[in-house]
Structure 1
């Protein structure tokens, strides 16, 4: 794209700088918002899953305790009845039944305890496995968010370099000249230039003072 006047070059540069700066700011804000949402969603999911698993473990423990008590209450009356009958019939039979009942009760309680311990161990193992999985998910989300933020920062830096490439110095190096007032105010039109008795024309290798032709007289 070619421009016939320095003022149009300056106008184009100004518009490009503004557009790129706004786009860079928008990209950075979008990346930060997305990273924040990902982190919040991951933390919420981890917390919710852990609470659900904790509640399930408490329910399982409560149910198992109730079953143990129920089994004990069911077996105990029968054992007591057998002991009573044995006492009525024969002392020797009483001793046999008494010992047998105690053995059976001990075996039942041992089995119930083993089953309860196994259930608690399995539940703890499941909770640990899920927690590790959720931690891995959280780490993946954080890494992805960090990559997005780094990408946004790189884009902002790239746009900064591009903006610097569109500055006045770069314009002069491409063969254009910039007209300014003696005080350094840029001139953007021929009509504006006619309002001043002298102007500075800036080239790549120096500044030249000129007098506009056809300037307006006060």
Structure 2
């Protein structure tokens, strides 16, 4: 019989964290002694296991049997695999415990449940200082991602700065990598907040933080620009109410689109601003609205960019934002003229402002109308009073001079009778003198009365002309706001076929045909009557 060769085993001191590496190198597990060992150690390169050899064995020569007979070049050199295996052992010995590392996620992908990352570190100029591969095994990925998302409201994404606990890993075939064992979400959130604080301080130092808030929001909002993601739910909520205002001809909305998350946010938002400026130069807007709707805190982080905040601060018109919910906040909200919690609240605020201005205009109209009527009534009353005063003064003046003339006439008559006997020659002369003396005051009084009457008449006509002119101006101002003016502003007037105004939807629905009058002509229309009982046009 052939005699069996006795197997020699060399036991190793392998830490639990390095068991997989020892297994990869060829070590075996002894379940009885609960230790890793090498079977036939003379057939292994002990340099790969130097960190785990017992002290009594570590002094053994590391050359394999038979090396003494090898050529000199082979004795003094290592194969690439042997060199990398020694590097692997050294790295495992040096980094036997997991360590926390700060880095930025440059790339992220998923295969078979495993997450593969490229971690990098960049300087202030954007140059890469270091980078390496990292992975999160599927067994830990689901739990780790759930914890991170619960704390931050977002999943891991490219461009995020993270604090990860990693185990150093080196393989002679696949090279250096890190195995992620834990992620600290508070570090990522802290980086965002620190970035916000730095931008806020810079904008304050440059005098831009409150710049847009100094813009005066127009009392009447006739034209508004809106920037939002094209498919955002918040945009749908906004347009549900905005379209009603536009259909009524009260306010025009021009929609521009941009991404609000991802790497393309800065470029697309700046393009939207450029498009806004082009529209603004052609026909100015009254306000700029930026809306997005709710989202995770980290999803909103791409909006926290200095260039975007500066552009909003320097806008020539007020900027209204409805980017997130009440708990969310971006630097764009801070520098805007007015921040709303949601897109729905933005359009609600616009509705309220337009409605309030309409109510104020109606009240002013009523005040003008009432004032004009009162002023006209007052003018008529004053004219009547002047007429009565003039008639009264004329009557009193006539009565006064009549009382003055009666005694004088009686005195002359008595004197003439006394001198009648003195002769006819002097009688004519005396009569003429008497008549001249009697009628001269009357002529003077008549002249005075005529002058006063003329002056009173001129004053009355002047006052009448003045108040008539004022009334015309007031009525002209009232009439300038009438139907024709409203037609020039873009309104339409609904009329029946016999040109009677239509005052309600119910009245229009009962007609088979009616007319719409615009500023440049009329158009006949037919109402569409729905199948249900709801009255609609």
TM-score, normalised with respect to structure 2: 0.25
Aligned positions of 1:190-201 closer than 5 A: none
Cα 1:24–1:96 change in 2 (3 A) is: closer
Structure 1 gaps of 5+ residues are 159-218
CA displacement at 1:127 relative to structure 2 = 0.7
Aligned counterparts of 2:347 and 2:448: Cα–Cα separation in 1: 78
* Cα distance per residue 1:159-216 (max 9 Å; x no partner): xxxxxxxxxxxxxxxxxxxxxxxxxxxxxxxxxxxxxxxxxxxxxxxxxxxxxxxxxx
Matched, 1:118 2:451: yes
1:19 aligned onto 2:309: no
Residues 46 and 134 in structure 1, CA contact (< 8 A), matched pair in contact too: yes
Alignment of 1:100-111 (within 5 A): 100-111=433-444
Larger-Rg structure: 2
Partner of 1:32: 365
1:78 aligns with 2:368: no
SS of 2:361 mapped into structure 1: helix
The DSSP-based 3-state class of the residue aligned with 2:293 is coil
Match of 1:50 among 363, 383, 407: 383
Secondary structure of the residue aligned to 2:292 is coil
Map 1:174-213 onto structure 2 (within 5 A).
Answer: none
- Indicate the residue corresponding to 1:189 in structure 2: none
Q: CA deviation at 1:42?
A: 1.6
Report the TM-score when normalising by structure 1. 0.56
2:461 pairs with 1:128: yes
Task: Considering fraction of residues, name the structure with more strand.
Answer: 2
How far apart are 1:103 and its partner, in Å? 2.8
Q: 1:21 to 1:125 in 2, by over 3 A?
A: closer
Q: Higher relative CO (CA 8 A, sep ≥ 6), structure 1 or 2?
A: 1
> What residue number does 1:214 align with?
none
1:4 is matched with which residue: 289, 294, 298? Answer: 294
Q: Which residue in 1 is equivalent to 2:470?
A: 137
Offset, 1:55: 1.4
Give deviations 1:40-59, integer Å, cap 9, x for gaps.
22212211221121112111
Contact 1:39 1:142 in 2 (8 A): yes
Question: Deviation at 1:126?
Answer: 1.2
Q: Distance in 1 between matches of 2:365 and 2:356?
A: 14
Query: Which residue of 429, 432, 441 maps to 1:96?
Result: 429
- Between the aligned partners of 1:120 and 1:136, the Cα distance in structure 2 is 24
- Equivalents in 1 of 2:460, 2:466: separation in Å? 10
How large is the RMSD of aligned CA atoms in angstroms? 3.4
Alignment partner of 2:419: what SS? Answer: helix
Gaps spanning 5+ residues in structure 2: where?
A: 1-290, 296-324, 326-341, 492-537
Greater percentage in helix: 1
1:140–1:90: structure 2 CA closer, same or farther, 3 Å change rule?
A: same
Q: State the Cα deviation string for residues 47-100 of structure 1 (Å, max 9, x = none).
A: 122112111211121122113312321320121122011124444333332232
| CA-to-aligned-CA distance 1:95-151 (integer Å, 9 cap, x gap) | 33223212322333332322222221111111111111212222333345456779x
Total equivalences in the alignment: 154
Secondary structure (helix, strand or coil) at the match of 1:55 reads helix
| Distance apart, 1:18 and its partner CA | 4.9
Checking the alignment, whether the CA contact within 8 Å between 1:79 and 1:101 is kept in structure 2 is yes
Instruction: Report if aligned partners of 2:292, 2:343 keep a CA contact under 8 Å in 1.
Output: no
Change beyond 3 A, Cα 1:109–1:14: closer
